[in-house]
Amino acid sequence: MAKPIRAVMFDLDGTLLDTAPDFIVVVNQLLAEQNQPTLSAETIRAGVSNGSKALIKLAFGIEESNEQFEPLRQRLLELYLAHIAVYTKPFPGISALLDKLADNNIVWGIATNKPATYTLPLMAALNIHPAPLSVICPDHVSRSKPDPESLFLAGKQLNCSPEEIIYIGDHKRDIDCGKGAGSITIAATYGYVDENEDPASWNADYYVNHADEIWPIVEKYL
């Protein structure tokens, strides 16, 4: 029998928050600055979970060895910081889920590969309640996801073991992180899953197509 759950941890982009609308704006803004054709919203959306390097590769078709790569990436991040919470909001069903967690004395937090420079201003701007009691960014660990270190640190901060955590994410790295920590894993297939990805191959404990489907899973472990 699994331990009762004491905490739920979320990946950020594509799981807790729909950040794609702001990335779509800034990626296309950068392309326009460089006199390049813009990309469809769907194309950009699929790449958001993979970070700024992946977005530059997607937008410009260049690798990190290209001398223009890093200047373009820094410009993208500059544009993003100025547009970080214009259209971003929690996915449908997340706010109700957080309320249910609070009603049942289950704390929640975030384990993301998004640097604190962007995660913290974004969360401050959105001012989500109830607030997360743990926010783990790559800056806070020596090894980011898929390494499980983020969830080990979250467990220390939340005073629970990783086995008492449910971790939810929309990428294989999230599921690998959760399984490596010994946590229960939920794959959020409503997130930014690339069309070439097969979430069934991630071997998550559970799969959800909408955030409304998360609470019934959590209830099993109360």
Query: Catalytic site residues?
Result: 11, 13
Cα–Cα dist 63/68, whole Å: 9
Cα–Cα dist 174/111, whole Å: 9
Cα–Cα dist 67/69, whole Å: 6
Cα–Cα dist 57/63, whole Å: 6
Enter the tokens of residue 67: 């001398």
Enter the tokens of residue 153: 């640190």
Q: Which amino acid is at 187?
A: A
DSSP-derived pairing of the beta strands 89-90 and 17-18: antiparallel
